[in-house]
């Protein structure tokens, strides 16, 4: 049974316990502030055994599979209308299911699917993140000034640089400073990352040798262009976490917690004695007083994921911080209608709440190298090509970063080495490596498996997405969850700017494959793939498609003008002085790096603003 708040009023109430919410809770707790954290999902277990068992037994080992609630009920996908704290799953992004409200939690209006998912559980989505902790580039903060595209952020890289340093310490990032000096990135004097970088893999080294001397859009690459990726993963003992053992299972769950997740920070927050948690507690509305301040936080509680509502109530606080991700945060704001006093929702005088939903559309390509590189060892990715994240081309098309995969075809075809093994045993060809559909056994099977598995590799291209007001989160008028709250309704598409970036990624992938001498196995999109589109590549119309990167960005952007944004550079609502919104939803643009480190830096910056404010 979920705990009830012990007080009626707090210094701060935080909605959501992911990275951003956890960091703010810790900082306010250390400052002696009385804090209540309200989390829609259950707490993370005290050890990983329960989640690991759920993962081991899962038929579909997707990012959501280790975590509550169960994805399947009686052999079928659980109907989201029966779940109290629903969440999307990658299993509902295929033709025939992405539009089905009995399978997809998100009510997808299209014309294309929004393909990223999230958790609603103690610790949030970053329980299943990869750990990539890149800084954004200085140019990412000034797209309008430098490339005449979109908008500039209301702060600069220099403003955020000291907070990047603090965030890297909080998350425990392994990296080499010298390796990260590119495209105008700078570091504070004498700064070093908390831990040395994770060593490069044999796949990384093969790609580095292949691209030496290669030119892409005027950028000349060399061996040093393959850079170790900063990761919130231990290369040595740190924060009582183990050293990475190379399980190649970072997504969906690190079995030894060598990778940072927010439970580390939540435990520290709780140990301050000032931070209280209520799990299985869904915030349903924020109420305002006559002065426009948030006066009450209303919530609903439940005992079981698909059980009845078992409680309700409200609390008040001097400051309310919403950290519920870039879909659930606008959903809450839009639900907060205050008996008709705020018919368009809270913090929405600009009309910008829910708009400019973004991701990093993910183009994936895979193949076999001519010689073994022995994948399935180490983290899922240890290196990438970062020098293509900026250039004059950004005035015309989206940039991208290149992620080099260490997990063979596990992600690319949805389950290797199992799929290839079953193909060879059963005379199938789902992996396209057994065209004769020969059923093998004994030495012949071992020889073929060794030949294929040791040469597998994949590349992933995370493409910058343009902010578009038509890409948005709204409230469904027709579909509710089990608590009778409206579910999120999503409208989503790719602009020509973004599609051109996906096409450029395809061209670069083809060049890298040619230089590697690799045999391509990348599949053309299925005819009914809802994410597919046609675009010219090297003068030929080509069918392309994308996946979700798990990066949910935008929908309550920060800015310098209240009519064009939802919050200021501190994350404070323009409309309600005691309301702060944090997380990657404040990003005005998607930029070119994975968002977690930046949202962590911004959350720490906002924490200091709140601590220094007069909480009454």
Q: Which of 522, 544, 566 is the last residue of a domain?
A: 544
State the pLDDT at residue 240.
87
pLDDT computed for residue 112 by the predictor: 96
Angle CA(495)–CA(387)–CA(408) in degrees, nearest 5?
A: 80
Q: Both tokens of residue 571?
A: 């994350």
What is the per-residue pLDDT for 311?
97
Nearest to 585 by CA among 148, 33, 18, 163: 18
Residue 24 belongs to a domain with what CATH number?
3.50.50.60
pLDDT digits (tens, 9 = 90+) for 247-259: 988 999 999 999 9
**Average confidence (pLDDT) over 231-236:** 97
Q: Residues 192-198: what's their mean pLDDT?
A: 97
Residue 382: asked if its preceding bond is cis (omega within 30°), the reply is no
- Per-residue pLDDT for 550 more than 80? yes
> Of the segments 51-65, 250-264, 382-396, which one has the largest average pLDDT value?
382-396
Of 323, 419, 378, the closest CA to residue 20 belongs to 323
Q: How confident is the model at residue 575 (pLDDT cuts 50, 70, 90)?
A: very high
Containing domain of residue 55, as a range?
Answer: 9-128+263-358+469-493+552-612
* Residue 95 placed within a domain: yes
| Judgement on whether residues 336 and 416 belong to the same structural domain of the protein | no
Residue 204 confidence (pLDDT): 97
pLDDT band at 188 (very low <50, low <70, confident <90, very high): very high
Exposed e or buried b for every residue in 416-438, given b needs 16+ CB within 10 A? bbebbbbbbeeeeeebebbeeee
R_g (Cα) of the chain, nearest Å: 23
Q: Other C-beta atoms within 10 Å of 76: how many? A: 10
- In this prediction, residue 315 has a pLDDT band, given cuts at 50, 70 and 90, of very high
Claim to verify: residue 401 and residue 515 sit in the same structural domain: yes
In a domain, 325, yes or no: yes
- pTM to 2 decimal places: 0.97
Between CA 30 and CA 32 the distance in angstroms is 5
Residue 282 has pLDDT above 80, yes or no: yes
Confidence of residue 590 (pLDDT cuts 50, 70, 90): very high
Does residue 615 register a pLDDT over 80? no
The pLDDT, as a whole number, for residue 392 is 96
Identify whether residues 559 and 486 lie together within a single domain.
yes
What is residue 2's three-state secondary structure? coil
23 within 8 A of 597, measured Cβ to Cβ:
no
pLDDT digits (tens, 9 = 90+) for 102-121: 999 999 999 999 999 999 99
Mean pLDDT of the chain: 96
Cβ–Cβ < 8 Å for 495, 471: no
Q: Are residues 450 and 335 in the same domain?
A: no
pLDDT tens-digit readout, 129-177: 999 999 999 999 999 999 999 999 999 999 999 999 999 999 999 999 9
Give residue 60's pLDDT band: very low, low, confident or very high (50, 70, 90): confident
Region 523-550: what's the mean pLDDT? 95
Provide the pLDDT for residue 500: 98
What angle (nearest 5°) sits at the alpha carbon of residue 559, between those of residues 555 and 560? 160
Percent of the chain with pLDDT over 70: 100
In a domain, 323, yes or no: yes
| Whether the Cβ atoms of residue 7 and residue 312 lie closer than 8 Å to each other | no
**% of the chain with per-residue pLDDT over 90:** 90
Same domain, 473 and 455: no
Nearest-angstrom CA–CA distance, 252 and 479: 29
Q: Is pLDDT of 95 > 80?
A: no
Quote the CA–CA distance of 62 and 410 in Å, as a whole number. Answer: 11
Q: What is the pLDDT of residue 510?
A: 97
> What Cα–Cα distance (Å) separates residue 514 from each residue in 85, 511, 519?
47, 5, 9
Average pLDDT, stretch 577-583? Answer: 98
Do residue 233 and residue 319 come from a single domain? no
Other CB atoms within a 10 A radius of the CB of residue 96 amount to 10
pLDDT band at 614 (very low <50, low <70, confident <90, very high): confident
395: left (phi over 0), alpha (psi -120 to 50) or beta: alpha
Q: Do both 84 and 223 map to the same domain?
A: no
Query: In this structure, are 217 and 151 located in the same domain?
Result: yes
**Does residue 304 fall inside a structural domain?**
yes
- Is the domain of 536 the same as that of 574? no
The per-residue DSSP string of 368-398 comes to E-SS----S-SSSEEEEE-GGG-SGGGGTS-
Give me the pLDDT at residue 94, please.
Answer: 82
Quick check: 123 pLDDT over 80? yes
Which band of pLDDT confidence, cut at 50, 70 and 90, is reported for residue 418?
Answer: very high
Q: Total domain count for the chain?
A: 2
Q: Does residue 350 form part of some domain?
A: yes
Please check whether residue 1 lies inside any domain of the structure.
no
Query: 150 and 237 in one domain?
Result: yes
Question: Which range is least confidently modeled, 92-96, 290-294, 312-316, 610-614?
Answer: 92-96
Whether 94 is covered by a domain: the verdict is: yes
- 221: pLDDT confidence band, cut at 50, 70 and 90? very high
* Residue 304: partners with Cβ closer than 8 Å, 6 or more residues away: none
Does 469 have pLDDT greater than 90?
Answer: yes
Are 346 and 488 found together in one domain? yes
In a domain, 3, yes or no: no
269 and 317 together in one domain: yes
The yes-or-no verdict on residue 1 having pLDDT over 90 is no
């Amino acid at each position: 049974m979920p705990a009830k708040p012990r007080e009626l009023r707090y210094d701060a109430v935080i909605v959501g316990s992911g990275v951003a919410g956890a960091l703010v809770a810790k900082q306010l707790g250390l400052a002696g502030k009385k804090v209540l954290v309200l989390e829609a999902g259950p707490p993370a277990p005290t050890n990983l055994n329960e989640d690991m068992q759920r993962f081991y037994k899962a038929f579909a080992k997707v990012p959501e599979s280790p975590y509550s609630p169960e994805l399947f009920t009686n052999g079928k996908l659980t109907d989201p209308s029966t779940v109290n704290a629903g969440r999307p799953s990658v299993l509902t992004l295929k033709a025939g299911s992405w539009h089905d409200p009995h399978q997809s939690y998100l009510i997808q209006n299209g014309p294309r699917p929004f393909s990223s998912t999230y958790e609603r559980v103690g610790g949030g989505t970053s329980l299943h993140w990869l750990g990539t902790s890149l800084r954004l580039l200085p140019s990412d903060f000034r797209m309008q000034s430098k490339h005449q595209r979109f908008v500039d952020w209301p702060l600069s890289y220099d403003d955020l640089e000291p907070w990047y340093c603090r965030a890297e310490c909080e998350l425990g990032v392994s990296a080499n400073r010298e390796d990260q000096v590119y495209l105008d990135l700078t570091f504070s004097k004498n700064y070093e990352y908390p831990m040395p970088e994770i060593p490069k893999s044999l796949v990384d080294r093969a790609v580095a040798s292949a691209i030496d001397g290669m030119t892409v859009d005027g950028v000349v690459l060399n061996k040093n262009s393959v850079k170790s990726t900063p990761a919130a993963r231990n290369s040595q003992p740190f924060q009582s976490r183990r050293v990475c053992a190379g399980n190649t299972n970072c997504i969906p769950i690190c079995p030894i917690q060598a990778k940072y997740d927010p439970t580390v920070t939540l435990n520290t927050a709780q140990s301050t004695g000032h931070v209280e948690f209520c799990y299985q507690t869904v915030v349903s509305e924020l109420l305002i007083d006559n002065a426009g301040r948030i006066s009450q936080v209303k919530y609903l509680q439940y005992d079981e994921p698909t059980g009845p509502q078992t409680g309700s109530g409200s609390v008040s606080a001097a400051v309310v911080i919403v950290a519920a991700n870039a879909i659930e945060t606008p959903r809450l704001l839009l639900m907060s209608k205050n008996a008709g006093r705020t018919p368009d929702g809270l913090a929405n005088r600009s009309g910008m709440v829910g708009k400019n939903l973004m991701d990093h559309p993910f183009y994936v390509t895979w193949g076999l190298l001519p010689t073994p590189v022995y994948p399935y060892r180490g983290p899922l990715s240890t290196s990438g090509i970062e020098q293509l994240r900026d250039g004059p081309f950004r005035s015309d098309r989206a940039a991208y970063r290149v992620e080099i995969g260490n997990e063979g075809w596990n992600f690319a075809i949805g389950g290797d080495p199992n799929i290839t093994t079953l193909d060879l045993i059963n005379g199938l060809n789902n992996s396209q490596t057994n065209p004769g559909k020969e059923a093998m056994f004994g030495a012949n099977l071992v020889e073929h498996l060794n030949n294929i598995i040791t040469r597998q590799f994949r590349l992933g291209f995370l493409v910058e997405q343009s902010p578009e007001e038509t890409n948005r989160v709204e409230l469904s008028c027709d579909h509710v969850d089990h608590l009778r709250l409206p579910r999120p309704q999503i409208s989503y598409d790719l602009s020509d700017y973004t599609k051109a970036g996906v096409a450029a990624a395809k061209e670069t992938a083809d060049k890298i494959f040619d230089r590697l001498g690799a045999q391509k196995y990348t599949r053309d999109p299925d005819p009914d793939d809802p994410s597919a589109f046609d675009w010219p590549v090297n003068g030929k119309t080509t069918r392309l498609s994308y996946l979700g990167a798990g990066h949910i960005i935008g929908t309550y952007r920060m800015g310098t003008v209240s009519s064009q944004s939802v919050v200021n550079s501190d994350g404070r609502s323009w409309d309600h002085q005691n309301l702060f919104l944090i997380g990657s939803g404040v990003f005005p643009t998607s930029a070119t790096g994975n968002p977690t480190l930046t949202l962590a830096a911004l959350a720490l910056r906002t924490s200091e603003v709140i601590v220094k404010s007069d909480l009454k």
